[in-house]
Chains A and B, each alone.
Chain A
């Protein structure tokens, strides 16, 4: 039996502050949980599943902070895609009768603690395989993404200006989000003239570094009907892992090719019918290869695809309408925000930034490093089953 439309997102909350030096990670999670319950019209006692990823003992630590004893826990760690993967797992567990209401939480104080997410270097690495590729060679996160960008440019003629178009359109959307960190308009030249961080990626090709968090509550489609907000049904889901392929890695492709295929197949919808793409944007190149590998365009055609304005307000494929990681927030593992904004858009709650008739959206997380080890999660979300 397919899981198509069996579950729905019924409650959400996004932590508003992007700089929170005086709170703990668990506090961010717990406050987002409380607000998401209110959004859904549920109480803490209704929740029997807890998912989180990030630090320490994962969901176990969080259960103590929340003082809950769930029937289902998931601390699956696939980096920034974890929360999207949690939603897929939650949908599966709910449909199987293991639990009824699952809360997925994220919190981070990366900004206020001064964690160098992208450029910090990998440090000492005892275990293979990190030992061969990490700190001993001065590897940085942005550098690993830059290797994908360089190879993509070499194979397909992709340009810095094409990558910049993604940053520019995302900034236009950020102007509609009062909580977004960067809201002033930018042009292509601003991006390509910003300082180089790791060639060919410029500063404005890179995501922000912020604090933040959020909560997503998932339950059965049947239960969702009686709750406060319009259900946002999960029509399709997929998860996948990309890695070094024993030394044969093609760095221009990402695991989105598999997680996306599974999600679209389950949903039974066409790419052309998608009204909103919420795709993890750690860097501009992340979006470009993800669009290709999710099947919105052919491999290698991402450059021209993103350069005609289709991602901007009023365009054919609005992308990251909250301002994304490039302009709104990026606390380190951003996947949850793709679900939060997709839910707001499908519900019709985005005011001036509302996409007309936004009945079908994709929320896609990417965790780890795209030219290397990474995990992806893809959801197809809809206002109807």
Chain B
């Protein structure tokens, strides 16, 4: 969960990866991410979660969708270890893991799996959201890392 985020060492070089360009429909997601909260959209009319977050519910077309703070917990649904490319910032950091996470709320979301040797990532692995601060931008990028399992 987000509050357990360890202190990240300050990176000397600037963040080169693409940043989201905030717009009315997406701004709350990124503002919450900066507060280390993983937000989801749920429809007040049909009560269903959806992803990606939209102002109009993709299930019933209601405009009564509200932001809900998600658990940030989920499982790896699928992933790939990228060895080539990925665009600015990423291409220099290969190999890295692009992954689809199935959140406990039932929606599958797009992200990265971090905090683990890419070769150790497995489908079904239990993960939690972490947030990578982008220095000086007031933005944090949500990613997922293995979630420590409680000892029996």
Q: Which residues of A are in contact with B by a Cβ distance under 8 Å? A: 116, 118-129, 131-140, 142-143, 146-151, 154, 195-201, 244, 246-249, 251, 371
Contacts and interface: CB of A to CB of B under 8 A. Distances in A.
Contact of B98 (A123, A127, A129, A137): A137
Nearest to A196: B83
Contact of B51 (A125, A135, A139, A247): A247
B21 A124 contact: yes
Contacts of B81: 196, 198-199
Grouping DSSP codes into helix (H, G, I), strand (E, B) and loop, the B interface class, with mixed when no group exceeds half, is: loop
B50 interface: yes
Interface residues of B, number: 51
A116 B20 CA distance: 22
B98 A147 contact: yes
Contacts of B110: 132-133, 137, 139
Contacts of A143: 80, 82, 86, 98
A366 to B, nearest CB: 18
Contacts of B59: 246
B78 A147 contact: yes
A248 B106 CA distance: 8
B84 A119 contact: yes
A154 B58 CA distance: 29
B143 to A, nearest CB: 8
A246 B87 CA distance: 26
Given A121-B18, A147-B78, A138 B86 contact: yes
B119 to A, nearest CB: 9
Contact of A247 (B50, B87, B91): B50
A140 B26 CA distance: 22
A40 B118 CA distance: 54
Contact of B20 (A131, A201, A248): A131
A151 B78 contact: yes
Contacts of B83: 195-199
A150 B123 contact: yes
By CB atoms of chain A within 10 A, which of B23, B29, B110, B118 has the most?
Answer: B110
A150 B87 CA distance: 22
B109 A132 contact: yes
A198 B82 contact: yes
Given A126-B23, A133-B52, A247-B50, A146 B80 contact: yes
A120 B90 CA distance: 10
Contacts of B124: 154
Contacts of B82: 138, 140, 143, 198-199
B52 A251 contact: no
Q: Which among A129, A134, A143, A249 has the greatest number of chain B C-beta atoms within 10 A?
A: A143
A149 B98 CA distance: 13
B77 to A, nearest CB: 7
B17 interface: yes
B86 A248 contact: no
Contact of B25 (A121, A122, A128, A136): A128
**Looking at A199, A201, A251, which has the most chain B CB atoms within 10 Å of its CB?**
A199
Contacts of B17: 135-136, 138
Contact of B111 (A137, A201, A246): A137
Nearest to B105: A247
Interface string B66-89: 000000000001111111111111
A132 B52 contact: yes
Given A131-B20, A195-B83, 6 more contacts: A132-B26, A136-B141, A138-B89, A140-B85, A142-B85, A143-B82
